[in-house]
Amino acid sequence: PRLCPPELQLVLEADSERRRRGQQPRGSFLERGPAEPEHRMAASLELPRPRERRCVPATFRLHDDIRDKLRPIAVTLAFAIAGTRGWHRGARGTALPPLSPAL
């Protein structure tokens, strides 16, 4: 049987701290899907072979009417390999479930 390459699922989210406080995000992702909120973008891509790079475009546009121009806009990344359990956040080396491929 032919094995399919693993697929990486990812979600980018901007201004999540403001969203938790009930405030509007200060920008939007242009590549998001029609059902996704403006501050979130989900994508998936086939994991490349070793030493091969793949890119997912993520253009973030600032809204014209923002008032808070001094605080940075934090963007978080959550990722998972399709078919494994759980999501991993950021680049802090979160442990993967046993027997899962390493990211």
Give the domain ranges of the chain.
7-82
| Of 24 and 102, the one with more pLDDT | 24
**pLDDT tens-digit readout, 49-98:** 778 888 888 999 998 888 888 888 999 998 888 776 655 555 444 444 44
Q: What is the pTM of this model?
A: 0.69
Nearest to 89 by CA among 100, 80, 97, 102: 80
Cα-based angle 23, 26, 28 (whole degrees, multiple of 5): 115
Compute the CA torsion angle 46, 50, 56, 57 (nearest 10 deg).
Answer: -150
H helices of the chain, in order, are 16-20
